[in-house]
Structure 1
């Protein structure tokens, strides 16, 4: 199904990635770039982008990890179609396969993955005012799956010792940790993203591994902007250079 919203073509990673997305609907910004940077995918590993949208995170990951393969799962067919279009636009259609489907009932034969990365809807059901644009509202507000259900679906799709990586609003960290409890995961790592050095974190990146028992780690985090408002060199290295952000690994692997 073709999107009904007008489209724009935008650029990521200092112009190296082209991204077609709705002008007024769901739009990828910097969150998927940081999410992709935090996934330590290795050559030959299978990655799932759960709720892939137009494919921003998957494409950023593949720009850094060209020997990995990514499957996208997106509930909205219009966005999944744009993800396929973006894969072809960036000559990554052989490595990125966006599918239309529901994380609560994945397509048969999807299998298990070495990594699941995801940017779940930020807002709980019936919280705040829904966006006027239906596609944007669906992307930003929980629907059939709440945050706990989303995390349950992600963990279920991991192979043993596979890694979940997600980005979310910092104020929902308690909900994320509660949702991970009892899911058979460990080596949970929390990395805050601070807008400035003297500001509270606005986002957190959370990693966890299936079937390990290493303790939770609170990591030093990343400051995004200097006092002048410009991105810090560390943030620029990710946003423009496609550098890895991999402090989520390194926990002791205790089975």
Structure 2
């Protein structure tokens, strides 16, 4: 892998080729850092693209196995290249699959109900709500072909009972995010993320546990510019 066309994450512990579509940055770092460093079992990065979130999670949680789940063949090939380049092939696997299709998930080697953690940074917009860029690669990353509720339902099918679901999304999509996971996970916590002091939140980290009946918790806000491990 040529260092001239790669991006560094986690203080240079991970190098990533990203292609011409969406380029991972702070959102990916924040989502990956939500995983406990002592996490074991299987972590799935759903909608993985070139693998930024899942590969960072593999670096940060060295006892876990990681699956990168991506529908786009070119992005999945790039994810496999990144796995090999970072010498993580013993613990990380890329799965080319349509998460909304149970047969596609099975054909890609995914087992429903097997993941200890599901991480996801879904496309932030739904088709029909925004103008779609003519760049097909960027359009796939930013505009979902399914509703957020359908995305969450498919991602949660992969999660084991008692497993943890973690999603990052736009702060102004909070109502949609809560509706998407309602009745599917409990113990939901929402952490507002701000780019500047006294400014409105621009992102939320939402997490919850499959099968939990615990109530919703609103966590203290956090400034994301101070996040360690930011992209370099």
User: How high is the TM-score relative to the length of structure 1?
Assistant: 0.83
Q: Which residue pairs with 1:118 in the alignment?
A: 120
Q: Confirm whether residue 12 of structure 1 aligns to residue 9 of structure 2.
A: yes
Structure 2: unaligned runs, 5 residues or longer: none
Contact 2:188 2:206 in 1 (8 A): yes
Aligned pairs (5 A) from 1:1-255: 8-22=5-19, 24-40=20-36, 42-106=38-102, 107-108=105-106, 109-111=109-111, 112-143=114-145, 145-183=146-184, 185-224=185-224, 231-232=225-226, 235=227, 237-239=228-230
Q: Does the 8 Å contact 2:50/2:82 carry over to 1?
A: yes
Helix, strand or coil at the partner of 2:149: helix
SS of match in other structure, 1:239: coil
Q: How far apart in 2 are the matches of 1:208 and 1:41? A: 18
- RMSD in angstroms over aligned alpha carbons? 1.7
Q: Distance in 2 between matches of 1:36 and 1:126?
A: 30
CA distance in 2, matches of 1:110, 1:19: 24
Q: Residues of 1 paired with 2:121 and 2:46: CA distance?
A: 8
Q: Are 2:123 and 2:142, in contact at CA under 8 Å, matched by a contact in 1?
A: yes
CA distance in 1, matches of 2:95, 2:217: 34
Instruction: Tell me the equivalent position of 1:4.
Output: none
* Distance in 2, Cα, partners of 1:176 & 1:100: 25
1:41–1:115 CA contact under 8 A, matched in 2 = no
What is the aligned residue count? 223
Q: Secondary structure at the match of 1:52?
A: coil
SS for the counterpart of 1:21 is: coil
- Residue by residue over 1:27-62, the C-alpha shift from the partner in whole angstroms, topping out at 9 and shown as x without a partner, is 111111100001236453111111111000011111
Shift of the alpha carbon at 1:132?
Answer: 2.5
Quote the Cα distance in structure 2 between the aligned partners of 1:146 and 1:139: 14
SS at match of 1:93: coil
Does the 8 A contact of 2:29 with 2:231 survive in 1? no
CA contact (8 A) 2:26 2:231 kept: no
Compute the displacement of 1:105 (Å). Answer: 1.3
Gaps of 5+ in 1: 1-6, 225-230, 242-255
Deviation at 1:200, TM superposition (A): 0.4
